[in-house]
Amino acid sequence: MKWEGFAYAAGAAVGHSCIDVSRKMAAQHFSPAELIALVGLLDALLLCALVWAFGSNSNIGSMDSLFQTHDQNLLRILVISAGLKVMAGYMYQRALQVSPISVTVPYLAFTPVMLVFTSYFLMNEMPSFRGLLGVVVVTVGGYMLVVEKHGKITRGNQLEEDRGNHTGESFSISLGTETKKAFSVRSFFDWILSSHIFEPFLALKKEEGSLLMLAVAGVFSISNSLDKMGTHLSPSPVLFATVQRVIMAIPVVFYLILISPRSFKHLLRRFPAFVTISVFEIVAFICYLKSLETLLVSYAIAAKRSNVLLSVIVGRVVFKEKIWKKLPFVILMVAGMALIILA
């Protein structure tokens, strides 16, 4: 059964890689608000159509079966998890708006580690030592890959001045290259801290987006735990996904109606683009929920994070990107996944 869970988690990882590519292409033509609202609306409509067409004659179950459970905890989880995801989506877009990607996106890699704590308090889940080590290794590897992808930021003269005033000595910062000056032990640590690998942590002091994205990772760690609780209480993962997506779509659609009602015409003009993203999201989310039936939530999210590896492979095959500097982090993530699988 555990292998089935990892298979679904791998499916979710593939789905998220497809979502990243399709959303990146769509972002050239639509605003973030349009993408969030219109795709969210399509997610809800397609899932409702799926339940209506096949629910009563399959193991999906009908919508009536969900509400006939009379489980107040399930309804509470649906509302809270949907609200948390809408809030996280807003903070995510806000973080990207006010701060560079390189000092915001890397924080999403910490969700699996945060899940170790939230899943323990919410569901009393505790991974084994080997599994916990694997989660940490996957997190570190994923973080390094994301930083390597979006990093290499050149800090301005202001940062150099701040560093010089702090240490009492001046030194030059060259991200991605070796420092040419001889340095003492103190300047060695200054050089380490100046590396783009630590840029997101240094940005916490002055970048609003970094703090927001760290909060997003924390919110996701709670909503992911609630997803597992709701999946086990619901008649089927598809029903849970359907009601959750409907609740999520309501506020974002109303928001788009208020700020840009004409945006809904894009659904007709670019319907294939929106429905492609929506299908990828639905498949990825259902695969993720199915993986939660047999895996600890921290394991499932760590496995889903392997979509970073797929992005590296796609970058090499499709865009001919150089990946040699990323190989150590790829190997690190593979080793972490091996530890989780063997846990």
Residue 184 CA to residue 1 CA, distance in Å, equals 55
pLDDT of residue 21: 72
pLDDT of residue 258: 92
Residue 205 CA to residue 207 CA, distance in Å, equals 6
Any residues with CB less than 8 A from the CB of 154 and at least 6 apart, and which? 173, 175
- Residue-number span of the structural domain to which 206 is assigned: 2-342
Give the number of domains in the chain. 1
Residue 306 CA to residue 229 CA, distance in Å, equals 23
pLDDT of residue 63: 65
pLDDT along the chain (343 residues), means of 10: 79 80 76 85 91 71 62 85 89 78 75 88 87 86 72 42 44 43 52 60 74 89 92 86 92 90 88 90 90 86 74 65 69 79 71
pLDDT of residue 319: 57
Give the residue from 332, 283, 281 showing the smallest Cα distance to 21. 281
Q: Determine the Cα angle at 199 with ends 25 and 32, to 5°.
A: 25
Q: Crossing angle for the helix pair 297-304 and 2-26, nearest 10 degrees?
A: 40
The burial of 319, by beta-carbon neighbours within 10 Å (0-12 exposed, 13-18 middle, 19 or more buried), is given as: exposed
Give the residue from 205, 37, 225 showing the smallest Cα distance to 117. 225
pLDDT of residue 160: 41
End-to-end CA distance of the chain: 14
Residue 118 CA to residue 115 CA, distance in Å, equals 5
Longest dimension (CA), the chain: 74
Q: Of all residues in the chain, what percent are helix, strand and coil, respectively (each to 5)?
A: 80, 0, 20
Please give the backbone phi and psi of residue 68, each rounded to the nearest 5 degrees, phi first. Answer: -80, -10
Residue 280: half-sphere exposure toward Cβ, Cα within 13 Å: 18
